[in-house]
Amino acid sequence: APTATCDPTGHCFCTVTPKVTFDLGPIAEGKMCVDPLGNSCGVACAKDSDCSGLCTCDNFFNAANCFWEDQKISALVHIGVAAEPINGGEFLIEYDPSCVTLNSATCLPPYVQEIYRSTATSSVFIACGVDPFGGVNGPGGNVNIIALSFTMIGQCNNCFLCFGDNNPQNTYLVDAGGYKVPVITQCKEISEYGDLVLTVPA
C-alpha cells in the first residue's frame, strides 16, 4: 500500500501522485492534399475534390514524419491515475510562437470552472476545477482536463510545449481538500507527426 506524507498543517496525502502529460496529434482540420508518394501538395482539404491532379485528401504523413505548415494540432492535458480525487489545477503552458499559434484552450468535463488568459504571445495560463457548489469531487486522475488547439507556422521546426513554473503563475494540481499536488515540469519538442507525450511526474 502507498505510504502517506503529511505537511505541517496536518494534511496527509498518498505518495502515489499523478503524472500530467501532453497527448498531441493532428485534429480533423489538419488534413492536407497529398500525392501518391505521401508528399504534401501544399493545400489544406476536407475531401478529395478539394485537391487537384493525382493528389488526394489525407492526414499528411511523409518520410520525415513531420507536422506540416498550417496543420492544426490538438493537445490534450491528461492527468494520470491519482491516489485521491483531483479537483482541479492551474497550468501555465508555454510554446514557441515562431513555430505554432494558439487557437483555443478549454477545460474539459467534469472540470467546468475556468480562468483563461494569455500571459504573452508565447504562453497561456488556464485554471480548471470542479463546480465548487456541486458538492462532488473530481475523479482520481486518469482523465483529460484541458483541450488546446494550435496551428503550425512552419514545418519540422524544433517546437516545444512546456508546463511552466513562473511565480505567481505556475503548474500544479489541487486535491479534494484544496491542497496543492506539485509536479515536476519538463519540455517536449513537437517535431513528429502523430501522438507525442510529455510526461510530468509528480
DSSP string, 95-150: E-TTTEEEEEEEE-TT--EEEEEEEETTEEEEEEE--TTS--PPPSS-EEEEEEEE
The pLDDT of residue 63 is 37
**Residues whose CB is less than 8 angstroms from the CB of residue 84 and which lie 6 or more positions away in sequence, other chains included:** 13, 14, 140, 175, 176
Highest mean pLDDT, choosing among 56-60, 133-137, 187-191: 133-137
Q: What are phi and psi of 65, to 5 degrees?
A: 60, 50
Residue 48: count other Cβ atoms within 10 Å of its Cβ.
11
Residue 180: how many other CB atoms lie within 10 Å:
15
Confidence of residue 1 (pLDDT cuts 50, 70, 90): very low
Question: CA nearest 107: which of 127, 132, 86, 87?
Answer: 127
Strands ordered across the beta sheet of 20-26: 100-107, 143-152, 72-79, 20-26, 196-200
Residue found under cell 458538492? 135
Instruction: Please give the mean pLDDT across all residues of the chain.
Output: 76
CB 162 within 8 A of CB 186: yes
- Cβ atoms of 59 and 72 within 8 Å: the answer is no
Q: What is the DSSP letter of 84?
A: S
CB within 8 Å of 8: residues ≥ 6 apart: none
Q: How many CB atoms lie within 10 A of CB 12?
A: 13
5 CB contacts (<8 Å, ≥6 apart)? 12, 13, 14, 15
Calculate what percentage of the chain has a pLDDT beyond 90: 9
Residue range 151-184, pLDDT digits in tens? 888 766 667 888 887 777 788 888 888 888 766 6
The model's pLDDT over 30-89, given as tens digits with 9 standing for 90+, comes to 577 877 776 778 787 778 888 888 888 876 554 345 666 777 788 888 888 887 889 999
Q: Looking at the predicted structure, is the pLDDT value of residue 111 above 90?
A: yes
